[in-house]
Amino acid sequence: MLRPLLATTLLLAASTAQQFEPATPAFVFLQQPPLGLPKMPTADGYVPTVGMFELGKQLFFDGVLSRDRSVSCASCHPATTGFAHPDKLPPGIDGKRAARHAPALWNRGYAPVQRWDGRSPTLEAFVLEPIADANEMGHTVQAAIERLNAESPWREQFTTTFGTKATPEALQRALATFVRGIVAGDAPYDRFLKGDPTAMTALQRHGQWIFESKGGCWKCHTPPLFTDESFHNTGIGVVAGKAEPARAHVTNDADDTGKWKTPTLRGLRLTAPFMHDGSLSTLSDVVAFYARGGNANEHLDTRVQPLDLSAEDQRALVAFLLSL
Ligand code: HEC
Ligand code: HEC
């Protein structure tokens, strides 16, 4: 009996160790973050409840919020691909496409502002915006609320959870509470830091060293979330030396031209393609992009410069990214 059991255990260990394995989103993470992550903040002092999380989860996976019920949050943020979409630009209502790549939703509850250009000030403010986006859910918040109240199972759930029928505020709370439960931690990297020397391979540790030394990646992708939640110009999307307005569209400051929000590097194993326009298909492409110094343009960040990385160094960096 012992032998087959041992063999199975070893097999499991070999397939799960040294690579990030996603945890199912759960309410418990709002109170007890996974290894390596800080405590999840909540907005303006509200107390999240399991009921809000469960209602938010149902709404996230249901088409009810879109005009013709064909699009849910999950259509663009499928759980199986780390809540990012495998297309460069994800499909929305009426065969349209969203304007930007749908990012992974890991640890977005920690982010002070939402979207690639940061134009949505809070998670609560943001979660209603896809509903009214003509390329995404093609509805209005008002009409979505009316529909939820016209359908008794939804109306009853809102009443049980919030003590009122559906309102924009209650809908915001439910969706935002669910998104706060989508976390990525307890990865090989975190276990290694905690003191398990076998959690990362030698190649991954070499990659970590490059990340923290000559790669300079940590300057913007700062642990433990591997983002500084700030905005930088790396040259992605530059055409003929010209960058899009990006963050400058929000701040009206020309210095912010071509600056996009630093995405988290956690859970990357599942979330290709990469960048705000989905233009890089693999992590090797991303590392090669940085190795050559990004894309030249007038506003390129001074921290993005050609790097002296051998083929082995580049493979090591990719291996390290898979440990996050
Ligand atoms: C049609 C596709 C589509 C649908 C439907 C959609 N999203 Fe998104 N989501 C995106 C895209 C594209 C972005 C990036 C938008 C931007 O940066 O301007 C995004 C961004 C986000 C972000 C911000 C992440 C960050 O790092 O800034 C969150 C949170 C999010 N979506 C949650 C949701 C929720 C909740 C719903 C359902 C109410 C939803 N999305 C519906 C495509 C979609
Ligand atoms: C100056 C700040 C800065 C530095 C330094 C930096 N990055 Fe980034 N990184 C960004 C920004 C900003 C983006 C998003 C760019 C965009 O979408 O246009 C990004 C995107 C990425 C992505 C794509 C993630 C996703 O989900 O789309 C990966 C992977 C990545 N960086 C890895 C690295 C590595 C590895 C290094 C070091 C070699 C590095 N970065 C150095 C700011 C930086």
pLDDT at res. 44: 84
pLDDT at 6: 41
Contact yes or no for 215/99 (Cβ under 8 A): no
Report pLDDT for 8: 40
- d(C-alpha 87, C-alpha 78), whole Å: 11
Instruction: Report the separation in Å between the CA atom of 21 and the middle of ligand 1, taken as the mean of its atom positions.
Output: 23
Burial 292-302 (b: 16+ CB within 10 A, else e): eebbebebbbe
Which one is predicted more confidently, 174 or 7? 174
In 3D space, the residue among 64, 320, 40 whose CA is nearest the CA of residue 206 turns out to be 320
pLDDT value of residue 3:
44
Tokens 């309410």 found at: 27
**Which among 257, 241, 230 has a CA at the least distance from the CA of 295?**
241
The rounded Å distance from CA 151 to ligand 2 centre is 44
Burial of residue 95, with CB atoms counted within 10 A of its CB: 0-12 exposed, 13-18 middle, 19 or more buried: exposed
What is the arithmetic mean of pLDDT over 95-121? 97
Ligand lying closest to the C-alpha of residue 77:
1
Q: At residue 93, does pLDDT exceed 90?
A: yes
Please say if the pLDDT value at position 284 is more than 70: yes
Closest CA to 320 of 150, 202, 176, 170: 202
Average the pLDDT over 224-239 and give the result: 97
Q: How far is residue 148 CA from its own chain's centroid?
A: 28
Ligand 2 center from residue 263 Cα (angstroms):
7
Residues with C-beta less than 6 Å from any ligand 2 atom:
104, 215-217, 219-221, 232, 234, 236-237, 260, 262-263, 265, 268, 271, 274-276, 283, 286-287, 290, 301, 303-304, 317, 321
Report cis status (omega within 30 of 0) of the bond before 273. Answer: yes
Residue 64 binned pLDDT confidence (cut-offs 50, 70, 90): very high
Structure tokens at 30: 């709002």
d(Cα 199, Cα 11) in Å, to the nearest integer?
15
Task: Tell how far the Cα of 282 is from the centroid of ligand 1, in angstroms.
Answer: 21
Ligand 1 atom nearest to CA at 118: 27
pLDDT value at residue 16? 46
pLDDT digits (tens, 9 = 90+) for 125-146: 999 999 999 999 999 999 999 9
Contact 137, 93 (CB under 8 A): yes
* pLDDT beyond 90 at 45: no
The residue to which tokens 């960048």 are assigned = 275
